[in-house]
Structure 1
């Protein structure tokens, strides 16, 4: 399997190929600006070679500099609101969170579902380091999906 493409935009990787119409609807939803004209800066990866890969496998194939990855998996393409899987990748040199020491045991990445309509918020703010990942996690509903602030 080849590595994911290198680009300055956030990668949105399709991992479910069961419904082309759902994929087109999702692409339309995430490329529509919100009421304030904010828009996610995305590079779409629509290649069956990435079909059914896990988040761990996608992280392993991503370019080193990519911190945020978005997955269009089966849940994103079949559930209402199209909840994409946002994956925040940790690097060896990232500082630990509050109360953590650098290098403390933690997973290689974290995951959060985000509805297609609100993807711009996570993508813009994480990519520009305007907000911390934890702010989005804390704002997620009880079902673990971020639906906006």
Structure 2
């Protein structure tokens, strides 16, 4: 079954941790508050509970080309526990399986640039700090 398609000019935010409904609501609120425009298509489907990056890469590689998406963001256990709600950005196209963390405040900028192909996934991943988290291009 292919991954859900995000709405036009938004990125897929896929919930993989279902242990705390309040944390999921907080993640969504933080992402929505980061910008005036919607940048996320939220998917909370138990079939994705605990799914790993490589599972998603394999699922996407098996999908028809017209159904494939090139990136997504996971709301995993680390996202739910951290007060900054850093999503796990996942490349599904150029370097399948490459990841970096994205605090909620940076999500709109990254999502917008990836959705319009203004920048590549690697540009953000390469700018991540030593912990693997993107904190802006001047914060490394």
Q: Does the TM-score normalized on the shorter chain lie above 0.5?
A: yes
Cα deviation, residue 89, structure 1? 1.3
* Higher relative helix content: 2
Distance 1:118 1:81 in 2: 10
- Between the aligned partners of 1:24 and 1:138, the Cα distance in structure 2 is 30
Distance in structure 2 (CA, Å) of the matches to 1:148 and 1:132: 15
CA contact (8 A) 1:40 1:119 kept: no
Residue 58 of structure 1 and its aligned partner are, at CA, apart by 2.1
Q: CA deviation at 1:40?
A: 5.1
Question: Which of structures 1 and 2 has the bigger CA Rg?
Answer: 1
How far the C-alpha of 1:4 sits from its partner, in A, is 2.3
2: CA distance, partners of 1:77 / 1:5: 21
Matched residue count: 130
Q: Does 1:125 align with 2:113?
A: yes
Aligned pair 1:77/2:80, yes or no?
yes
What SS does the corresponding residue of 1:143 show, helix, strand or coil?
coil
| Unmatched runs of 5 consecutive residues or more in structure 1 | 92-106
